[in-house]
Chain A
């Protein structure tokens, strides 16, 4: 250990602050986006099952979603929550099962998040017509 004096003096664990905060915030974001997704997924599944059971074609579903701006807004929220949740989940899997971690992995996952955000909002815009 290069700076034993500082380490011994750090009885308040201040040296761990950055890592601790980062881990805590990742947890908060993951769980908060999960809660949002829980609501969105219930609505999405209900919509899809309703459409299937009523024999609605995809055009009919889309036509109904054009009627109000609430649907595009709902799906935009859905996309944002998914763009936060999925990369954070994959981050853990890649760490534990592939043994990959660090800045490059985090950058790749950031790119994945942007991909989801971009692709998803593009679809929402197409939905909104």
Chain B
């Protein structure tokens, strides 16, 4: 039994004495899927408070709703919305895949197909939104 605090396991000195991975070690599908999942998650977490407050303002004060709606029709905003939908769909797809790996025993060795399909689904959902909005 090791006392984690007393050992050299997590010391900063140990951390400086070693080499780390670069992009060559990260060039495989499951890693890209992770990075997509993490970055989309951070983007959504940053967006969410803004989404709640802007929406609440627009709904609670009907006078501001019109101005808000005009603003949402601008192309730059439409693009941002599409990217958010893409982020949400990507995070959803990756998240469901992870839940299946962790709880439904989806084999870790056979994830490449699932990764390809979830990526395709995310793009499809974003396009369904963008080409109609």
Pairs A–B under 8 Å by Cβ, sample size 20: A13-B1, A34-B95, A38-B99, A45-B88, A45-B125, A49-B125, A49-B129, A53-B128, A59-B65, A82-B48, A89-B45, A90-B42, A93-B38, A119-B56, A120-B48, A122-B52, A123-B52, A123-B53, A123-B59, A126-B60
Q: Is the interface of A mostly helix, strand, loop or mixed?
A: helix
Identity of the chain B residue whose Cβ is nearest the Cβ of A44 in the assembled complex: B88
**Complex: how many Å from CA A49 to CA B68?**
20
Number of A-B contacts (CB under 8 A): 87
- Assess whether A1 is in contact with B52, with CB atoms less than 8 Å apart: no
Interface residues on B, range: 20 to 34
- Assess whether B132 is in contact with A90, with CB atoms less than 8 Å apart: no
A16-57 contacts to B, CB under 8 A, are 31, 34-35, 37-38, 41-42, 45, 48-49, 52-53, 57
Expressed in whole angstroms, the minimum distance between the Cβ of B107 and any Cβ of chain A is 19
Residues of B within 8 A of A11 (CB): 1
Residues of A within 8 A of B42 (CB): 90, 93
Residues of B within 8 A of A77 (CB): none
Q: Which residues of B contact A (CB under 8 A)?
A: 1, 3, 6, 38, 41-42, 44-45, 48-49, 52-53, 55-56, 58-60, 65, 69, 72, 85, 88-89, 92, 95-96, 99, 102-103, 125, 128-129, 132-133
Q: Provided the pairs A62-B59, A119-B53, A120-B52 are in contact, do residues A10 and B1 lie with their beta carbons within 8 angstroms? A: yes
Identity of the chain B residue whose Cβ is nearest the Cβ of A118 in the assembled complex: B52
Residues of B within 8 A of A119 (CB): 49, 52-53, 56
Taken residue by residue from 80 to 99, chain A's Cβ proximity to chain B (1 for < 8 Å, 0 otherwise) reads as: 00100011011001000000
Q: Which residues of A contact B (CB under 8 A)?
A: 1, 7, 10-11, 13, 31, 34-35, 37-38, 41-42, 45, 48-49, 52-53, 57-59, 62, 79, 82, 86-87, 89-90, 93, 115-116, 119-120, 122-123, 125-127
- Assess whether B45 is in contact with A52, with CB atoms less than 8 Å apart: no
Expressed in whole angstroms, the minimum distance between the Cβ of B126 and any Cβ of chain A is 10
Name B52's contact: one of A42, A52, A93, A116 (CB within 8 Å). Answer: A116
**Complex: how many Å from CA A122 to CA B125?**
28
Residues of B within 8 A of A62 (CB): 59
**Other A-B pairs, 12, CB within 8 Å; known A37-B95, A125-B56:** A10-B1, A31-B103, A37-B92, A45-B88, A53-B128, A58-B58, A59-B65, A86-B45, A119-B49, A119-B56, A122-B53, A126-B56
